[in-house]
Amino acid sequence: MTTDVLVVHGGSPLRGQIRVRGAKNLVSKAMVAALLGDSPSRLYDVPAIRDVEIVRGLLELHGVRVSDGEEHGELVFDPANVERANVDEINVHAGSSRIPILFCGPLLHKLGHAFIPDLGGCNIGGRPIDFHLQALREMGAVVDKTPSGLDITAPNGLQGTKFELPYPSVGATEQVLLAAVRAHGVTELRNAAVEPEIMDLIAILQKMGAIINVHTDRVIEIEGVDRLRGYTHRPIPDRIEAASWAAAALATGGDVYVQGARQAEMMTFLNLYTKVGGAFDIDDSPTGGIRFWHPGGELKAVLLETDVHPGFMTDWQQPMVVALTQARGLSIVHETVYERRLGYTDALNQMGATIQTYRECLGGTPCRFGRRNFTHSAVIAGPSKLLAHDVVIPDLRAGFSHLIAALAAEGTSRVYGVELIRRGYEDFEAKLAALGASVEKG
């Protein structure tokens, strides 16, 4: 149940400076990769978020010694004693994260066996794992579905293969990478995802001794090797968190400097930010970041279609929609990555927004959800004056958008279920305070 409540006194602009650290969606995979090494790995800039705690717990259950390094946010992983974990103990983590599925490859290489509990993560669509299992089977894995999870073995080890993903799934691409780096022979993955977090994972695997070629047209070729060593790595910054604060600056008419944010991973976001009428300034010194602000005047309605990289990230969509409620005219949103990622707009409507959702593909590019009856497009009429309303957070990114809406709205809102935000936003209450927000625990 929703135990954590934040009381938000909204209506004032967010102003000030906050910092983002390593990307949640890279750090968690980097932690899994440490399992593959035969010497310790060292990861810097690890954010203190719930998803990291979950992966740390799972690694420790499998015998990896995880310790804090000297630097704040530095973790050291020693995989010298990787062992089978107790199924009941693994199941304590059941339903809490999507990451356990990525343990398959490393555990099969180390132990010849992997048990994967029922998966959790945000409720934003079916979130199947069919591509993962299909790829693992192609590589020689045998998957047995049990009432409590998946029991996976590889009687003859994992073999290189040629595999084409039906859709460039981030997780399935990572699955193939983590399994193929130590498989026998060469794996050719077609229609792979090429998100910056995946490129950073490839960089880590290369440091460990893997041989991975990224070709044009979403083709990744992995030459299996016999052994991998540990890595030392400083991850790319969290471009989702950076964009979330950028959207918060725009929605509240504020000015936020996001230390650690980098232009390279945010180009598509920055283009849309400009079109809406937001302003930014990039400091690309080593300790730099990006300043995002509302330059005054009216924001402009836009067409926003989410897509796999290099498109507009699906995780940028929800925070930006809050800013779009303040733009003059009709904005169109077409969500093409997840089939059910617009449900959170009901809460925004309760706060005074005018958002209508549709099953059709609006925006001009037909997607795979158009004919399947999924409500995956929206029209936002603005600008709307947002007014305080109590809201219950449904998932991580929608949760942050509810929080932004409450900060932008006149009056006092109670935001229930903020523990979900802790999955991916480090210290967000302290950051809100640093930005001058008036929030307190309920």
CB proximity list for 111: less than 8 A, separation 6 or greater: 82, 83, 84
User: Catalytic amino acids?
Assistant: 122
Nearer to ligand EPU, 15 or 359 (CB): 359
Assess 312 for contact with ligand EPU (CB under 6 A). no
Q: Which two tokens stand for residue 380?
A: 């936002």
424 makes contact with ligand EPU (CB under 6 A): yes
Burial of 344 (C-beta count, 10 Å sphere; 0-12/13-18/19+): buried
Choosing from 96, 161, 169, 377, the residue that interacts with ligand EPU (CB under 6 A) is 169
Contacts 24+ apart (CB under 8 A), 199-202: 200/23, 200/26, 200/30, 200/235, 200/236, 201/26, 201/29, 201/30, 201/33, 201/174, 201/177, 202/177
Answer whether 382's CB lies under 8 Å from 326's CB: yes
- 59 vs 111, which CB is nearer to ligand EPU? 59
Strand partners, 88: none
CB atoms < 10 A from the CB of 113, how many? 12
Q: Is there binding between residue 128 and ligand EPU (CB under 6 A)?
A: yes
List Cβ neighbours of 324 (8 Å cut-off, separation of 6 or more).
276, 299, 301, 302, 304, 331, 333, 380, 382
Query: Using alpha carbons only, how large is the chain's radius of gyration in Å?
Result: 22
Give the nearest residue (CB) to ligand EPU: 171
Min dist CB 181 to ligand EPU, Å, is 18
342 binds ligand EPU (CB under 6 A): no
Query: What residues between 32 and 61 interact with ligand EPU by CB under 6 A?
Result: none
Which residues make Cβ contacts (< 8 Å) with residue 260, sequence separation at least 6?
19, 20, 21, 237, 238, 242, 289
When binding is defined by CB under 6 A, the residue of 68, 130, 164, 346 that contacts ligand EPU is 130
Q: Judged by CB under 6 A, which of 95, 112, 126, 442 binds ligand EPU? A: 126
Which of 18, 25, 160, 221 touches ligand EPU by CB under 6 A? 25
CB of 169 to ligand EPU, least distance (A): 3
Between residues 54 and 222, which has the closer beta carbon with respect to ligand EPU?
Answer: 54
Strand ranges in 11-91 using DSSP code E only, listed in sequence order: 15-19, 41-43, 65-68, 75-78
**Min dist. Cβ of residue 133 to ligand EPU (A):** 7
| Residues from 258 through 287 that contact ligand EPU (CB under 6 A) | none
Nearer to ligand EPU, 30 or 299 (CB): 30
Q: Is 125 in the site for ligand EPU (CB under 6 A)?
A: yes
Q: Which of 14, 36, 82, 122 binds ligand EPU (CB under 6 A)?
A: 122
Q: Collapsing DSSP states into helix, strand and coil, what is residue 204?
A: helix
> Which CB atom, from 152 or from 388, has the smaller least distance to ligand EPU?
152
Run of H or E residues at 198:
helix 196-208
Extract the tokens encoding 116.
């994967």
Residue 25 beta carbon to ligand EPU: minimum distance, rounded to whole angstroms: 3
Smallest separation, CB 270 to ligand EPU (Å): 18
| Smallest gap from residue 424 Cβ to ligand EPU (A) | 6
By CB under 6 A, tell whether 367 contacts ligand EPU. Answer: no
337 annotated to bind ligand: yes
Sole residue written with tokens 């994967």 = 116
State how far the alpha carbon of 75 is from the alpha carbons of 23, 53, 56, 425, in Å: 15, 12, 10, 18
Burial-class residue 222 by CB neighbours within 10 Å (0-12, 13-18, 19+).
Answer: buried
Using the rule CB under 6 A, which residue among 49, 90, 111, 170 binds ligand EPU?
A: 170
Q: Given the complex with ligand EPU, which of 169 and 384 has the nearer CB atom?
A: 169
State both tokens at 258: 């996001």
Q: What angle do CA 429, 433, 434 make, to 5 degrees?
A: 115
- 24 is known to lie in a ligand binding site: yes
Q: How many other CB atoms are there within 10 angstroms of residue 162's CB atom? A: 11
**Contact mark string toward ligand EPU, 186..225, x via CB under 6 A:** -------x--------------------------------
Q: Is 99 helix (H, G, I), strand (E, B) or coil?
A: helix
For position 9 contacting ligand EPU by CB under 6 A, the verdict is no
To the question of whether residue 5 is assigned a binding role by annotation, the answer is no
How many positions of this chain bind ligand EPU (CB under 6 A)? 28
Indicate the residue among 131 and 292 with the shorter CB distance to ligand EPU.
131
Binding residues: 24-25, 98, 315, 337
Query: Which residues would be at the binding site for ligand EPU (CB under 6 A)?
Result: 24-25, 28, 98, 122, 125-132, 167, 169-172, 193, 240, 313-315, 337-338, 396-397, 424
Binding residues for phosphoenolpyruvate: 24-25
